[in-house]
Amino acid sequence: MSAQTGEQAGGRAGERVRDAWIDAARELWPDADVTAVGPGRSEGARRELAFLPDAEHPRLLVPAGLPGAAASALRRYSHDLGVRQRVSRGLTAAAVRTGLPERTLKDRLRITGGGPSIEDRLAELLGRPVVVSIGLGSARANRKPILHVLSPGGEPVAFVKVGDTATARGLLAGEAEALAHLDRRLDGRVHVPRLLHHGTWRALDLLVLEPLPTSARGWRPRGRAPVAEMRALFEVGGVERTPLRGSPFWDATAASVADVLDEGQRARFGEVVERTGEAHGDLPLDFGAWHGDWTPWNMAWHRGVLRLWDWERFGRGVPNGFDLLHYRLQEAMQKERRTAAGPPYATWPDGAAAVLEPLGLTGTAADATVRLYLLELCRRYLLAAQEPIGEPLRADTERLLALIHADATGTATGTASGRNP
């Protein structure tokens, strides 16, 4: 590829990224004119949003001309941020509060005209004037706008997830159900956000949550997973011990084979399910609840209490150990992405069974739990990857399916990544 062709491809990719954010803003300010502009507030605009850091690499859209709100939007800390990242973000937020750096944010969206906006609707729901910053994330099947709702002066008021696709709406409904089920059941052990509203506005589903307190300071035991808190969640609705084959979890797993649309993938996934049932169907296991996506970046410690968000994948009746395996495996893959150590799921995660020892799972039970977790993850990937915007997940899905199929059928190559979740 020539340098010129590469630049053109990069330019088109940048335009697609910017256009996705513009489309999100148009959904939130219906019937308004949303235009990409340069710095400097335009006369007559009802809202101007600034890209951070720029339109080609957007992380946030923050309200321009409101430095307190923009600075507050940057103060969102999760457990996986290291000291350097927390300090850098804190310094950036402090600088943004002065209003000076805003002048350097050259990429803006100008919003003019239109009817009642998302800010108007949220003001009605929350009983006070609000502004929003917008996050979008990378293109994937479960992508959705995430809004940090703030007072004009920067006080956190709420977080809102916006369901603008069938997949996103389903995830929001699942999270609303999970939060209603967990309300006050984990007090003192895990702080779960309170559900403020779940409903529809102009064909968009809105999930409005209380803002969880997080801070750049405070205790962050980065070296260990929160095993005690995971155990508390697992036991929240009671624990049932039963052979795998007689569990609702296994019935649902077997039934999900029919939901895979691609014939080749359906055949291989079905063979993995069949072989796993033959190998472990009679094994007694403990079944309880799991968060479904418990990672360092979905949690924070504040005043000694673990604050945990993103409950879209919450489930009940799953084998003990799924949350701990997910936490460690996703943590390891995140580190490997930063070091370009290779694609995810290329080889079996060595040491995964040992991760489960703090839960009392060893030997056959631990090995089976690892296989069942990867099977559940593959099921999730297969269904998400066949969605209209599931293309970014398809390579990972194929590697994971090949990995568990090779393990189940005894055709593994014997290579090992040394990856220790």
Residue with tokens 């009940």: 316
State the Rg of the chain over Cα: 23
Closest to 184 (Cα-Cα) out of 175, 193, 171, 196? 193
- Please, what is the end-to-end C-alpha distance for the chain in angstroms? 38
Contact call for residues 131 and 63 (beta carbons, < 8 A): yes
3-state secondary structure of 146: strand
Contact call for residues 257 and 266 (beta carbons, < 8 A): yes
How far apart CA 6 and CA 2 sit, in angstroms, is: 6
Q: Which string of b and e fits 180-189 if b means at least 16 CB within 10 Å?
A: eebeeebeeb
Q: What are phi and psi of 67, to 5 degrees?
A: -60, -30
| Burial status of residue 366 (CB atoms within 10 A of its CB: 0-12, 13-18, 19 or more) | buried
How far apart CA 228 and CA 53 sit, in angstroms, is: 38
CA 108 to chain centre: 26
How far apart CA 275 and CA 196 sit, in angstroms, is: 45
Contact call for residues 80 and 296 (beta carbons, < 8 A): yes
- DSSP H helices in 189-314: 227-234, 248-256, 263-280
What stretches of 174-312 adopt beta strand conformation (E)? 190-191, 195-201, 204-209, 240-243, 284-290, 299-302, 305-308
What does the pLDDT read at residue 265?
A: 98
Domain ranges across the chain: 46-209, 227-409
| Pairing status of strand 305-308 against strand 190-191 | parallel
Q: What are phi and psi of 87, to 5 degrees?
A: -65, -45
Cα separations in angstroms, 84 against 80, 81, 90? 11, 8, 10
| Burial status of residue 323 (CB atoms within 10 A of its CB: 0-12, 13-18, 19 or more) | buried
Closest to 101 (Cα-Cα) out of 138, 64, 131? 64
Contact call for residues 327 and 295 (beta carbons, < 8 A): yes
Return the biggest CA–CA distance within the chain.
71
User: In this structure, which topology does domain 227-409 adopt according to CATH?
Assistant: Aminoglycoside 3'-phosphotransferase; Chain: A, domain 2 (3.90.1200)
Q: What is the pTM of this model?
A: 0.85
pLDDT tens digits in sequence order for the chain, 421 residues long: 554 554 444 455 557 778 889 999 999 999 999 998 876 556 678 898 988 878 888 888 988 888 777 777 766 544 444 545 554 455 455 445 555 455 556 788 999 999 999 999 999 999 999 999 999 876 665 678 999 999 988 899 999 999 988 888 999 999 999 999 998 888 778 999 999 999 999 999 999 999 987 654 445 555 689 999 999 999 998 999 999 999 999 999 999 999 999 999 999 999 999 999 999 999 999 999 999 999 988 988 888 889 999 999 999 999 999 999 999 999 888 877 666 667 889 889 989 999 999 999 999 999 999 999 999 999 999 999 998 878 889 999 999 999 999 999 987 544 333 344 5
